[in-house]
Amino acid sequence: MELLRIENCRKSFDGEEILKGISMSVNEGEVVSVIGPSGSGKSTLLRCACMLEHMDGGTLSYAGRIAAQEKEGKVIYANPADLKEIRKTFGLVFQNFNLFPHYSVLKNVTEPQIIAGKSKAEAEKKALECLEKLGLKDKAKNYPCQLSGGQQQRVSIARALALEPKVLFFDEPTSALDPELTGEVLKVIRDLAALHMTMIIVTHEMNFAREVSDRMIFMEHGVVRAEGTPDELFGSDDERLKSFMGKLNGN
């Protein structure tokens, strides 16, 4: 089943076109990573998909429901009630976590569920379940500032998972972490992949992407330069692709 479909997505900032007509689709259970040099538009694409940015052109749909479509050169978003429902389809893990600092770890994971309509008891039960899965149950009463970056990122993953999204986006989830802390976050994502969680991961961790992804998308200058299985991309004859992958592998 197709969970996400983006067609011909275009986005400009201050007259500079960052996305020049990107299309992608993601099926249930797939792990897709989006790679490419800085400034290639990876994060912008992800932010457009999550509706944190409005597209200038193109179509966006989740599980067959249209969130935004182009009509007479203008992108029309669905009405607020529909968007609210569509937003429940996906979750997003931010580069710098964006946990709520004034809430305890438990409340960070609990409150969004209550907002979504669950009872407090139900939400807390689910929150503790998610925290336990991520090895953070003993941190439930702590505040984000008392945790390491890796732990904070794991809390933010727990927060996203507690809402049971069908698709989970990761925006460079380890870029704000010390190198020795990236491992614990990558492990969590790896475990989710093993459980066939549908994920779209923007990342610079090339070896990790290769290992965890079903499909990789290589972006450059606002277009998809190459797309395929990790083996296809790593085995590609494309000089640009080879040099990019080689550089990031430290060769």
Rule CB under 8 A: say whether 173 interacts with another protein.
no
Site string for another protein, 125-144 (x = CB under 8 A): ------------------xx
> Which region among 86-94, 132-140, 196-204, 209-217 touches another protein (by CB under 8 A)?
86-94
Q: Are the C-beta atoms of 49 and 89 separated by less than 8 Å?
A: no
What is the distance between the alpha carbons of residues 28 and 233, in angstroms, rounded to a whole number? 22
Nearest approach, Cβ of residue 24 and another protein (Å): 19
Give the tokens for residue 21: 């007509």
Rule CB under 8 A: say whether 118 interacts with another protein.
no
Give the tokens for residue 51: 């509706």
Q: Report the sign of the C-alpha dihedral through residues 81, 27, 96, 186, in that order.
A: positive
H/E stretch holding 18 reads: strand 16-27
Rule CB under 8 A: say whether 185 interacts with another protein.
no
Nearest approach, Cβ of residue 241 and another protein (Å): 32
List 2, 25, 39, 52, residue binding another protein (CB under 8 A): 52
Return the residue matching tokens 């592998």. Answer: 249
Identify which of residues 43 and 208 has a Cβ nearer to another protein in the complex: 43
List 7, 28, 87, 129, residue binding another protein (CB under 8 A): 87
CA angle at 124 for the pair 93 and 134, rounded to the nearest 5° = 45
List 20, 21, 77, 88, residue binding another protein (CB under 8 A): 88
Give the residue among 57, 13, 75, 22 at the shortest CA–CA distance from 220. 22
Rule CB under 8 A: say whether 49 interacts with another protein.
no
Give the residue among 214, 225, 248 at the shortest CA–CA distance from 32. 214
Give the residue among 102, 100, 165, 101 at the shortest CA–CA distance from 130. 165
List 57, 112, 150, 173, residue binding another protein (CB under 8 A): 112
Terminal alpha carbon distance of the chain:
39
Nearest approach, Cβ of residue 212 and another protein (Å): 22
Applying CB under 8 A, which residues contact another protein? 50, 52, 84, 87-88, 91-92, 94, 96, 98-102, 111-112, 115-116, 143-145, 159-160, 163
